[in-house]
C-alpha cells in the first residue's frame, strides 16, 4: 500500500519545472530589431510588425542572402520575445535600437 501511494505521489508531482526557459529555442540570445522591413544592420534580425513601421503587416526574421535579405514570417509574440531577449543581453541598451 505504501509503495502505491509513493508511486502515485511521484507521478502526480511530475518533473521539476525549468527555472527559466530561453526566449526562443533557435535564437536563445534574441535578435536585434530590423531598421526596416527589408534590411538589417547585421546578418540576421527581426521585424516586429506590430511595434515597428505603421503597426500593420507580418512580423518576420530577415537573413542576409546573396546581396539581399530573405524574410521568414513569424508570429508577433515570437518577434516580441526575440527583441526583448536581445535587449536583455549585457552591454546592449536598445535605446533607439541602433546598437
Query: Is residue 89 included in any domain, yes or no?
Result: yes
Query: Is residue 70 included in any domain, yes or no?
Result: yes
Residue 37 has a pLDDT of 87
Q: pTM of the entire structure? A: 0.71
Grid cell 536563445 in the structure block, residue: 28
Q: Kindly report, residue by residue over 7-20, the tens digit of the pLDDT.
A: 444 444 555 554 55
Domain count, the chain: 1
How far lies 6's CA from each of 14, 15, 16, 17, 94, in Å? 13, 15, 17, 20, 51
Query: Is residue 3 included in any domain, yes or no?
Result: no
Asked if the model's pLDDT at residue 53 lies above 70, the reply is: yes
- Among the listed ranges 14-18, 46-50, 58-62, which one has the minimum average pLDDT value? 14-18
What share of the chain in percent tops pLDDT 70?
73
Please, what is the average pLDDT of the chain?
A: 80
Grid cell 543581453 in the structure block, residue: 89
Amino acid at each position: 500500500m505504501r509503495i502505491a501511494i509513493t508511486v502515485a505521489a511521484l507521478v502526480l508531482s511530475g518533473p521539476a519545472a525549468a527555472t527559466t526557459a530561453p526566449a526562443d529555442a533557435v535564437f536563445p540570445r534574441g535578435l536585434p530589431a530590423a531598421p526596416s522591413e527589408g534590411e538589417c544592420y547585421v546578418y540576421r534580425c527581426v521585424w516586429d510588425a506590430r511595434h515597428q513601421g505603421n503597426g500593420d503587416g507580418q512580423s518576420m526574421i530577415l537573413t542576409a542572402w546573396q546581396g539581399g535579405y530573405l524574410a521568414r514570417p513569424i508570429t508577433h509574440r515570437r518577434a516580441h520575445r526575440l527583441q526583448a531577449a536581445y535587449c536583455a543581453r549585457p552591454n546592449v541598451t536598445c535605446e533607439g535600437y541602433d546598437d
